[in-house]
Amino acid sequence: MGVTRREFIKTTAAAAAAASIGTTLLPGGVKPLFAENDMEWHKSVCRFCGVGCGVLIGVKNGKVAAIRGDKFNTINKGHLCVKGFYLHKIIYAKTRLTHPMIKKNGKFEKVSWDEALNFVAKKFNEIRKAHGPDALAFYGSGQAETEETYMANKLFKGCIGTNNMEGNPRLCMASAVGGYLTSFGLDEPAGTYEDIEQAEMFMLIGTNTAEAHPIVFERIVRHKMKNPNVKILIIDPRKTPTDQVADLHLFPKPGWDLAILHAMARIIIKEGYADEQFIKDNVVFKDNKKNLTYEQYKQFLEKFTPEYASKVSGVPVEDIVKAARMFGQAKTAMSMWTMGINQRTRGVWANNLITNLHLLTGKIGKPGCDSFSLTGQPNACGGVREGGGLCHLLPAHRVVKNPKHREEVAKVWGVPVSNIQPKPGKHTVAMFEALNKGEIKGIYIMCTNPAQSLPNASKYWKGLKEQFVVVAESFFPTATTKFADVVLPAAFWAEKEGVYGCTERRSQYMPKVLEPMGEARWDAFILRDLGIRMGFKKEFEKYKTAEDIWNEYISLTKGRDLDLSGATYRRLKKERGLRWPVPSEDHPGTYKRYVKGDPIFDELSEEKKKGRWIYFYGKPEGKAVVWARPDKGPEEPTDEEFPFALSTGRVLEHWHTLTMTGTVPELNRAVPKAYVEINPEDAKALGIANKDQVIVETRRGQLKIEARVINRPKKGTLFIPWHWEEWMANILTIDAFDPGSKEPEYKVCAARIRKA
């Protein structure tokens, strides 16, 4: 009896689903009923968030015809979220940009690559000659591959000679970087996803994990279901799908949660949950000006009674006490957070105060314990944080201010050290302000959409309109390409090879399985060719392959905290990624930093470690810092004129500014438009019914949008998903930023709402 192709695919699909949960449907193994001899499968990484899920790309007759979760990938173990489902559709989107274009007389005209690159090179050189290197800038992305960001870094910092090089991780992860650096002395988490299955308690703060990081959420849920004693504490102003597994949810007023974290620390110490030996051995205390003693820190906390924190945050006293005890009583605890913490004018402080709880209780460095920042983009950690794609950084966690770092990088880049300026360039908000003022006259934007994604977005359209703007993108049009003078078609995921580094310090290789659409080219080679045309032939002509670039980059990581020198393409092509430090080709990678098994810890002398099991080697004497930070609220608190706190965020089905998910009809139809969530009590008081058109207004702009009356936002708060250009939430958001991390406060501003 014959079998149809449909039956064949169904059994394959069922077997894959069964394998993803580690089970089999048929005796004898997890293989599908039939061999898939007409589909080539290629191991890769999902293009969306920072979780780093492994995917297998199924190619048939030269096209991507199927996607499956990679069951051998330790992160997602075969599962994907719905966005991963549709990766193939994005490759074939009608909005793919397939040829270079130059705007002539206000209209884009198709041109050759030669004409486009010669034009850009000529304009950039003219600007550089007339106004100096700092009149140029680069704005990149946490979605670009490490190799792509590396080439941009070399071109702008090493050759052109400006540190005006930023990336959109400034808008999402910079406060986490600031938090790790100030608490531990080094960026990125100590632990990994492996801690999830060993944790007794989770504190999810400022994260809608179920929608923004669904695979991490699934691992937490699966773990809790197997271990019903596992506790989940959520601290977030909004009720979200993550709540389905919460044991306790604290709903602070947006931006007022710092006092809660201090109050939890105070209860933890007072009720005897602190690990006094850990504190004695491994921790120092500081406030914004000076070192403190433990006693002085305790004195500082005295202000933060549960009653005080309750008054400030609006959370009931008993819930604050319960939360502290939940954290204190658990043997192991893992905190996770995202934009609700990072996108704040005191995002670094909020990060510090989360880590404080781990340091006070000794819940760090052990299995099941970590303060673990979840990342929003697939290569924000790898390409931008590690690769040095921000205005103060150089590759491999180096900084431009350090002369030794500049020398080391200049040597590898083959450029005079004097080319690399010692002063940091302009951070993102300052960069676009400088564009408005005409101080920056030319900008190259790669793989991102700042005209929509910047806070207070419309303020920055002036500079984009007036200055020379080059946009390298896979999709057209976007809110930013409207302002472009030149658009360059970039190869998309699966059309190029390279490396992504995800949340847990894991670098993973992605193969090229298709030729780029139309005339699209790989971003790294567009930058290489631009560099050559700008006069940097010697510096760029040597890069013939992606591996050439990766090899040069990992040579710069040798001996650094993020040592990737053992993560060669040869290994990465075979393995499901490697977690740094991975100092040699025979090293397995590192599960935990700062403890036994971390090659850097292992190499420390016993004299230095003095018998300690954990040593925060980024800090003097290996001691991490517990910070006594003030409990500042948001930059723009609510008042009589603007009585609502407005927050923005993601929905499961969409991602960022819709350049990708907006091309998938299924996802568009699932969530076709933006809306503002309003609490039923507030809606009733204002006479707003579900689906009414309303006007949401802030001091920066107003938006006509549909109301969704729902018991999700806390009373007095509004929430708008920010993905749509047509309902651009960022014309409302505030561009005030954290003075340390320079990350803007997207997550809270004052607003008012009325029926349209």
User: How far apart, in Å, are the Cα atoms of 701 and each of 114, 664, 693, 733, 749?
Assistant: 42, 30, 17, 9, 12
Residue closer to other proteins, measured from CB, 228 or 620: 228
Query: Interacting stretch for other proteins, rule CB under 8 A, among 165-173, 326-334, 665-673, 709-717?
Result: 665-673
User: How far apart, in Å, are the Cα atoms of 495 and each of 58, 404, 753?
Assistant: 14, 38, 45
Query: Interacting stretch for other proteins, rule CB under 8 A, among 7-15, 179-187, 331-339, 641-649?
Result: 7-15
Among 670, 695, 710, 736, binds other proteins (CB under 8 A): 670
Residue closer to other proteins, measured from CB, 27 or 620: 27
- The answer to whether residues 315 and 251 touch, using CB atoms and an 8 Å cutoff, is yes
Q: How far apart are CA 196 and CA 228, in angstroms?
A: 14
Query: Interacting stretch for other proteins, rule CB under 8 A, among 1-9, 441-449, 463-471, 488-496?
Result: 1-9
Q: How far apart are CA 392 and CA 383, in angstroms?
A: 15
Residue closer to other proteins, measured from CB, 14 or 686: 14
Question: Of 53, 101, 334, 339, which is the active-site residue?
Answer: 339
Its sign, for the CA torsion 664, 667, 669, 673, is negative
Assigned token pair, 611: 């018998």
CB of 525 to other proteins, least distance (A): 27
Among 116, 245, 357, 707, binds other proteins (CB under 8 A): 245
* Binding map of other proteins across residues 198-237, x = CB under 8 A, - = no contact: ------------x---xx-xx--xx--xx-----------
Q: How far apart are CA 683 and CA 193, in angstroms?
A: 40
CB of 307 to other proteins, least distance (A): 36
Residue 666 host element (H or E): helix 665-670
CB of 27 to other proteins, least distance (A): 13
Among 29, 72, 92, 270, binds other proteins (CB under 8 A): 92
Q: How far apart are CA 250 and CA 621, in angstroms?
A: 37
DSSP string, 413-443: HTS-GGGS-SS----HHHHHHHHHHTS--EE
Question: Of 143, 343, 377, 421, which is the active-site residue?
Answer: 377
Active site residue 22: no
Per residue in 661-690, is it b (16+ CB within 10 Å) or e — as a string?
Answer: bbbbeebeeebeebbbbbbeebbeebebee
CB of 728 to other proteins, least distance (A): 24
CB of 39 to other proteins, least distance (A): 8
Question: Of 50, 69, 376, 501, which is the active-site residue?
Answer: 376
Residue closer to other proteins, measured from CB, 236 or 653: 653
Residue closer to other proteins, measured from CB, 218 or 706: 218
Active site residue 702: no
Active site residue 391: no
- The DSSP code for 383 is I
DSSP string, 472-531: EESBS--TTGGG-SEEEEB--TTSS-EEEE-TTSEEEEE---SPPSTT-B-HHHHHHHHH
Residue closer to other proteins, measured from CB, 71 or 619: 71
Residues within window 50-89 making contact with other proteins, judged by CB under 8 A: 58, 60-61, 63-69, 71, 78-82, 84-86, 88-89
CB of 85 to other proteins, least distance (A): 5
Active site residue 377: yes
Active site residue 339: yes
Among 107, 404, 574, 669, binds other proteins (CB under 8 A): 669
Query: Does 5 help bind other proteins (rule: CB under 8 A)?
Result: yes
Among 2, 106, 620, 687, binds other proteins (CB under 8 A): 2
Residue closer to other proteins, measured from CB, 196 or 409: 196
- The answer to whether residues 52 and 508 touch, using CB atoms and an 8 Å cutoff, is yes
Residue closer to other proteins, measured from CB, 403 or 518: 518
Quickly tell me which residue has 């990342």 as its tokens: 375
- The answer to whether residues 648 and 744 touch, using CB atoms and an 8 Å cutoff, is no
CB of 493 to other proteins, least distance (A): 16
CB of 246 to other proteins, least distance (A): 12
Of the candidates 266, 239, 263, the one whose C-alpha atom is nearest the C-alpha of residue 320 is 263
Active site residue 201: no
CB of 216 to other proteins, least distance (A): 12
Assigned token pair, 215: 């695979």
Q: How far apart are CA 365 and CA 381, in angstroms?
A: 20
Residue 11 host element (H or E): helix 5-20
Catalytic residues: 83, 172-173, 339, 376-377
The residues that touch other proteins, with contacts defined as CB under 8 A, are 2-6, 8-10, 12-23, 25, 34, 58, 60-61, 63-69, 71, 78-82, 84-86, 88-89, 92, 210, 214-215, 217-218, 221-222, 225-226, 244-245, 653, 665-667, 669-670
